């Protein structure tokens, strides 16, 4: 129960720090309109992370899903489920309703079955895709005072993306410790070998 509360406190602290920085006067004379589309890029990033998580989960031997680097660290299965569950948690801050039966404090430990883990990842990605597609550009700028004086919905999406990449890196490190090369790296190595063989 403490972990979700601590996570929210950390999130609020990060957003408050961002708000202080955002209030600093901007003396720049650059009037160029922003070219970066957070919504489109966040969707691409989250889709790519989900695919890599699913591919890695499917590549793992089932008996590795309970492996953890130390007794106080999450197992493979728990990290995969944490990635899936955090999508519900972050997006619920924006008013999205997680599926019935979703229990934040218990989700990470809800299964060690590969098929159910893959299903959980894909279901939460579908939820994320649908929720974010329903957001307008104006929604991304909508203030969320409960998270900080200048915090907005776009900040939550940004943190969701950053957190997803953090846990993907964690899963890659887990895989490497177990002598498992991530599937996308295997594919890249095969392409390089084929290209080198054709020269």
CA 9, 163, 16, 144 torsion: positive or negative?
A: negative
DSSP state of 75: -
48 belongs to a structural domain: yes
**Quick count: other Cβ atoms within 10 Å of Cβ 140?**
20
14 belongs to a structural domain: no
**Rounded to 10 degrees, what is the CA torsion of 46, 52, 58, 59?**
-170
13 belongs to a structural domain: no
Residue 7 confidence (pLDDT): 58
Q: What are phi and psi of 57, to 5 degrees?
A: -60, -40
Which residues are bridge partners to 152 per DSSP? 143
8 belongs to a structural domain: no
99-125: pLDDT as tens digits: 999 999 999 999 999 999 999 999 999
74 belongs to a structural domain: yes
Residue 4 confidence (pLDDT): 54
* Domain span at 83: 36-187
Whole-angstrom distance, CA of residue 3 vs CA of residue 103: 13
- Supply the CATH number for residue 148's domain: 1.20.120.450
What domain count does the chain have? 1
115 belongs to a structural domain: yes
199 belongs to a structural domain: no
Residue 20 confidence (pLDDT): 45
The two tokens of residue 154 are 């776009």
20 belongs to a structural domain: no
């Amino acid at each position: 129960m403490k972990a979700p509360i601590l996570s929210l406190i950390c999130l609020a602290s990060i957003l408050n720090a961002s708000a202080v920085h955002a209030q600093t006067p901007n003396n720049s004379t650059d009037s160029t309109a922003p070219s970066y589309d957070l919504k489109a890029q966040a969707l691409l990033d989250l889709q790519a992370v989900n695919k890599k998580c699913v591919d890695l989960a499917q590549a793992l031997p089932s008996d590795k899903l309970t492996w953890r680097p130390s007794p106080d660290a999450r197992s493979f299965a728990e990290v995969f489920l944490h990635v899936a569950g955090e999508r519900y948690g972050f997006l619920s801050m924006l008013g999205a309703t997680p599926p019935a039966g979703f229990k934040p404090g218990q989700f990470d430990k809800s299964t060690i079955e590969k098929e159910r883990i893959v299903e959980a990842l894909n279901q939460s990605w579908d939820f994320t895709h649908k929720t974010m597609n329903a957001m307008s550009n104006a929604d991304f700028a909508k203030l969320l005072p409960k998270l900080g004086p200048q915090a907005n919905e776009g900040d939550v999406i940004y943190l969701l993306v950053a957190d997803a990449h953090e846990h993907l890196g964690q899963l890659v490190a887990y895989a490497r410790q177990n002598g498992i090369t991530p599937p996308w790296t295997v594919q890249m190595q095969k392409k390089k070998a084929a290209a080198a063989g054709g020269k």
